[in-house]
Amino acid sequence: MPDAPFTEADVKKLLKKRKFVYRLLEDNREEARTNNAITEARIKYEIRTIAEPNVDIRLRFSARLPKEATVKPFPGIALFWYRSKRIRGISWAVRHEIIRNDAKVGKVHGWYEHQWTDTDEDRFIVDMNKHIHETDLFSMVNFCLKRWGIEQVEQLRLKGVSTK
């Protein structure tokens, strides 16, 4: 049983609720463009439910893009609850083990999603290759916001991020 203050059923219930970007917590993209010491661009949002917009439910949306090395980097997107527990996350890897009930049952090549379960916590993996078509940071942010039921409020739109 996980040590998280929630269960798989709580996560599913939360994902069904209408949510929105309450505020921007971090955006270092401009600094990352100009400062060679910064190793990745990061964007972080605080997410709240539309039903209770004044209540911080400790849900955070995080996107990061490593600086280019020798190959094109792909963004990693995650939804954290209680700040440290990843309940959803989409990443890319040449190869990643598929975990079911704490056992390795296969491999995925390319895009995959971490989904929180009581048995595996965030190690439960789902192949996402057929769902992901555009892989730049902003396309991925918008894809994940939509997939996880998070709306952007008009006044919180960031440069370069489409909410369509």
Closest CA to 129 of 96, 88, 99: 96
The confidence score (pLDDT) of residue 82 equals 86
Q: How far apart are CA 37 and CA 94, in angstroms?
A: 26
3-state class of 161 per DSSP? coil
The confidence score (pLDDT) of residue 86 equals 94
The confidence score (pLDDT) of residue 69 equals 60
**Residue whose entry in the numeric block shows the structure tokens 């964007």:** 43
Q: How far apart are CA 112 and CA 5, in angstroms?
A: 25
The confidence score (pLDDT) of residue 33 equals 75
DSSP 155: G
DSSP 5: S
The confidence score (pLDDT) of residue 150 equals 94
The confidence score (pLDDT) of residue 40 equals 85
Q: How far apart are CA 67 and CA 38, in angstroms?
A: 8
Kindly list the averaged pLDDT for each block of 10 residues, start to end, along the chain of length 164: 78 95 90 76 93 94 80 87 90 89 90 94 93 92 94 55 38
DSSP 68: P
Q: What angle do CA 121, 122, 124 make, to 5 degrees?
A: 90
The confidence score (pLDDT) of residue 1 equals 42
